[in-house]
Amino acid sequence: MTDERLRILVIDENRIRASIIEDGLREAGFADVTTLAISSHLMRDIVDIDPDVIFIDLGNPNRDRLEAAFQVSRAAQRPIAMFVDSSDSDSTIAAVEAGVSAYVVNGLRKERVKPILDLAITRFNAFHRLQRELEETRNALAQRKAVERAKGILMKSKSISEDEAYSLLRKAAMSQNRKIVDIAESLVLAAGLLD
């Protein structure tokens, strides 16, 4: 998908401010731009529109409006660029924790919209790549722990060495056409039932 094919949602109460973002996007070649105001059914609208990127312009938000925008960010799981006129460190931290990809303070100008869009997408992709890698690492660690536990159970119950225990797991996996980790998890589960 080329950048120009992105579906972009602009969330803004102020039509003039929204037009600044829209103009910046259209001048950068983006044609599929939808504008909405924050409402009680905003999440349903986001699901219906299914945007690739979300721009939220809050101007001078109160705490409730800022929290509503952060809830959108947490739920949407998309690159989000948020514009505010001023901010404090608590709001900035909350924005990052909520998953806002680009939190722009006092920077709403149409010539900045495209670079901010690029930044939001890049940061979003980098963050999600790190999340995937973390999840893969956690899964690998959990699998390794299951294999180590299974080897320990076999070593204790059969009075065999670690290499022999691993060899038994591998042989069982091959004969059942399953992964070693699956055999190990089954063995650990079965041993837990017998205790």
The secondary structure of 112-172 as a DSSP string is: HHHHHHHHHHHHHHHHHHHHHHHHHHHHHHHHHHHHHHHHHHHHHHHT--HHHHHHHHHHH
Of the residues 112, 132, 152, the one at which a domain ends? 132
Number of structural domains in the chain: 2
pLDDT, tens digit (0-9, with 9 covering 90-100), for 87-103: 888 888 888 888 889 99
Across residues 18-22, what is the average pLDDT?
A: 93
**From CA 119, how far away is CA 101, in angstroms rounded?**
8
Residues 77 and 93 in one domain: yes
**What percent of the chain is predicted at pLDDT more than 70?**
97
Q: What is the CATH number of the domain that holds 123?
A: 3.40.50.2300
Mean pLDDT, the chain, rounded, equals 89
Of the residues 79, 109, 132, the one at which a domain ends? 132
Contacts of 141 (CB under 8 A, 6+ apart): none
Q: What is the CATH number of the domain that holds 151?
A: 1.10.10.10
Domain range holding 189?
134-194
pLDDT, tens digit (0-9, with 9 covering 90-100), for 110-164: 999 999 999 999 999 999 999 999 999 999 999 999 999 999 999 999 999 999 9
